[in-house]
Amino acid sequence: MTEPRNVWAAAGRLCTVLATLGIAAAPVFAEPDPRTAEILASHDIDITRGAAAGYVPDETCAQCHADKAESFSEIGMAKSFYRPSPDKVIEDFSALPYHHAESDRYYTMELRDGAYWFSRYTRAPDGGKTDVFEERVDWILGSGNHSRIYLYQTPDGALFQIPLAWYSQEGVWAMSPGFEFKQHPGVQRTIDRRCMACHNAYPEVPEEAGRMGMPAVYPAELPEGIGCQRCHGPGAAHVAAALTARDGIEPVRDAIVHPGKLPREELHSICYGCHMQPNVTVSSQLRLGRGHYSFRPGEKVQDFIAHVDIADADRAQHERFEINHHPYRMEQSACFTQSDGQLGCLTCHDPHVKIRPDERAEHYRDACLSCHTLDDEGLPLMQAAGARHPEIADSADCTTCHMPKRRTQDVVEVTMTDHMIQRAPPPAADRLAPLDSKPVDVAGVHLADIAADVVPEREALILTLKAILRFTQGRADYASDDLARVLRQTGSRDYEPWLTLLQAYIQQREYGKARQVAEPALSLAPGNPQVVTGAAVALFATGTRDKAIGMLTDLLGQRPRDVYPRVTLARLLAAQGRLDEASAHLDRVVALRPNHLQAWNLIAALAQRRGEHTRAIEAYLTALEIEPAAHRIRQRTVRALRGAGRDAEAAAHAARLPR
């Protein structure tokens, strides 16, 4: 893990005004009113409730807006998330297995009885397969225009990313983004709320589901694709008005958001909520008090999320180009800055219509000529005296030269249109040349310009520190010390930074400090599962053991399907020698989440302590199927196999340990 250097280069000035500035209040989004619910229920139309309340099925929208629904179905956004099926196959399965040389593992995908099945294995010395992990693919993320990412869902509702991806432009299988290196997340990378809140329509989830510290679990049935209401807002009131319209069309129109009628900043915010990603390495941060499902069209994106940017030690800002850099690059263009912000996504893109290939040149040329003028010879007018634009065909596409495709630095198998409009872009040989994946060297962290002028400075500092601690997985003690100082000085009434600090101190094994932080965190969010779990760990580590176990037991009484507190409780019980109770909790964990590596490892360790050697070996082998690079678990497996007299198996596993 690379830690940011000189991190206060852009943020250090914030410390001087900590106690004087406030934080914007979060809006409240109410459940549909009873009359709306009654009207839709009488027509058998479902309405979502909870954190994303008031949404109706997209099929309902299509009943009145069939033309828009049909044309939108061809847009990539409509195909952003869906169930795999034989009629959607675009991959070349014959090109598998794919061998990832760095980790020396093999990956394959096949269509079996109409379903996609993924498997990963390593080769034993005799050429056979070992450490085989197999899972059915439950969901596909990505339209396939550029790539497809595959997900599987565990019984508790968590989604996990599969390491293998299909890259459509080059027609190849390769590792998913972030899995290119020898050490990668394997089959245990969870799909968090922020991923799903951008890649799909909002599902029905509990009220607090999108808030920090709540488990990232999803219903078994989910919407398929980004639908109408992500841009137009919840449609329940609009549909109810349409079904009962007696006073003309205006009340119906007023009950839904028309993005094109919004002020410029609110209009851009609809796109920027997902497409403005200054970098993929250090996560942008939700504003304090906000949840992942809380943005509604008509808001300003700055009130929802503080975009975080970085200083890259290897590249200047104008040289950075990532797969989701469309507005980020556009805003660096003279065309944007000199238009007073009037240039935006909708200048070129109609979100309802996919432009046919034979229409693209004229379409994008017309968009450019809405600002630029032609000279007497019909060529784009050049500003410099005596300068003349090169000869081009009447139907030439301006973007071919001024917004050409370029290979992205974070997903090296993909090329994307560069939205930084340039007079003289780099030559194709430089833009499209193959790239090697490499980690970004983060030299600094700061809020992006889109947030810096809006977010109060105290909150800006808190969010910057939260971003650093997430990036360093809580290990950056300088950031936790600064966050503790900020929270002491301001007495923040938002629980999120207290939870971040609590988790950082636990990661650093600073349990005394964690215990001090646990009290304000609990007072602000007494039912939050990660707050309660962190507080219990701090109490247990500092001697208050029975209370810690009682807190987790009470929490699981209210939230029996939560995996994280249950694993923690099992660890605490095991530390007290209560092996039967710990084992029962762990059995429940792997029933809910069969890929939980730490749970299987602990099941094996407890089984050994109880003399259940066969059970221990089975659990160790299951853990190695989940993560073949878990060398300590393999060492324990070797010892367990030898103890059971299974010397040949022990030798085979011993041969796979690093020398």
CA 141 → CA 138, 321, 386, 571, 638, distances in Å?
10, 22, 51, 35, 39
Nearest Cα residue to 255 out of 265, 240, 266: 240
Helix (H) / strand (E) element for 399: namely: helix 398-402
Nearest Cα residue to 207 out of 57, 27, 49: 49
Give the side-chain half-sphere CA count within 13 A for 327: 23
Domain-by-domain residue ranges, the chain?
66-227, 455-654
Name the burial class of residue 115, with classes exposed (0-12), middle (13-18) and buried (19+) by CB atoms within 10 angstroms of its CB.
middle
pLDDT at position 248 is 83
Find where tokens 């833009």 sit. 431
Structure tokens at 343: 């240039």
SS3 state at 115? strand
SS3 state at 320? coil
Nearest Cα residue to 368 out of 404, 335, 332, 416: 335
Q: Which residues does residue 108 pair with via DSSP β-bridges, in sequence order?
A: 119
Whether the CB-CB separation of 80 and 226 falls below 8 Å is answered with yes
Distance CA 223, CA 46 (A): 13
SS3 state at 121? strand
Inform me whether the pLDDT recorded for 501 exceeds 50: yes
pLDDT at position 28 is 41
Neighbours of 33 (CB within 10 A): 13
In order, the DSSP letters of 128-158 are -EEEEEEEE--EEES-SSSEEEEEEE-TTSB
Q: At CA 292, angle to CA 288 and CA 296, rounded to 5?
A: 95
Amino acid 394 reads D
Find where tokens 């760095």 sit. 102
Name the burial class of residue 329, with classes exposed (0-12), middle (13-18) and buried (19+) by CB atoms within 10 angstroms of its CB.
buried
Structure tokens at 553: 């037991």
What integer is the mean pLDDT of 162-178?
97
Average pLDDT of the chain is: 92
Residue 68, C-beta contacts closer than 8 angstroms, at least 6 positions apart: 228, 352
**Span 39-97, pLDDT tens digits:** 999 999 999 999 999 999 999 999 999 999 999 999 999 999 999 999 999 999 999 99
Nearest 10 degrees: CA dihedral of 437, 441, 446, 449? -40
**Span 99-130, pLDDT tens digits:** 999 999 999 999 999 999 999 999 988 889 99
Structure tokens at 366: 């017309």
Question: What does the H/E/C string look like for 412-430?
Answer: CCCEEECCCCCCCCCCHHH
Structure tokens at 652: 């085979």
pLDDT at position 153 is 98
Inform me whether the pLDDT recorded for 8 exceeds 90: no
Nearest 10 degrees: CA dihedral of 432, 434, 436, 437? 50
Q: At CA 305, angle to CA 163 and CA 329, rounded to 5?
A: 70
Structure tokens at 29: 């989004």
pLDDT at position 387 is 83
Give the side-chain half-sphere CA count within 13 A for 346: 18
Whether the CB-CB separation of 361 and 396 falls below 8 Å is answered with yes
- pLDDT exceeding 70 applies to what percent of the chain? 95
Find where tokens 């797969």 sit. 323
Residue 540, C-beta contacts closer than 8 angstroms, at least 6 positions apart: 548, 549, 572, 575
Q: Which residues does residue 112 pair with via DSSP β-bridges, in sequence order?
A: 115
Between 381 and 549, the more confident residue is: 549
Inform me whether the pLDDT recorded for 18 exceeds 50: no
Inform me whether the pLDDT recorded for 577 exceeds 90: yes
SS3 state at 436? coil
Nearest Cα residue to 297 out of 259, 260, 265: 259
Nearest Cα residue to 488 out of 468, 516, 511, 512: 516
Whether the CB-CB separation of 301 and 450 falls below 8 Å is answered with yes
Longest CA pairwise span in the chain (Å): 91
**Span 290-341, pLDDT tens digits:** 999 999 999 999 999 999 999 999 999 999 999 999 999 999 999 999 998 7
- What's the predicted TM-score (pTM) here? 0.93
Inform me whether the pLDDT recorded for 23 exceeds 90: no
Distance CA 459, CA 490 (A): 10
**Topology (CATH level 3) of domain 455-654:** 1.25.40
| DSSP alpha helix (H) spans, 17-93 | 34-42, 58-64, 66-72
Inform me whether the pLDDT recorded for 596 exceeds 70: yes
Q: Of how many residues is the chain composed? A: 659
Whether the CB-CB separation of 637 and 130 falls below 8 Å is answered with no
SS3 state at 446? strand
Inform me whether the pLDDT recorded for 13 exceeds 80: no
Helix (H) / strand (E) element for 385: namely: none
Range scoring the smallest mean pLDDT among 23-37, 369-383, 544-558: 23-37
Whether the CB-CB separation of 224 and 204 falls below 8 Å is answered with no
- pLDDT exceeding 90 applies to what percent of the chain? 85
Whether the CB-CB separation of 121 and 56 falls below 8 Å is answered with no
**Span 212-264, pLDDT tens digits:** 999 999 999 999 999 999 999 999 999 999 999 877 899 999 999 999 999 99
Q: What share of the chain is helix, strand, coil (3-state, %, to 5)?
A: 45, 15, 45
560 cis-preceded (ω within 30 degrees of 0): no
Where does the pLDDT of residue 618 fall: very low under 50, low under 70, confident under 90, or very high at 90 and above? very high
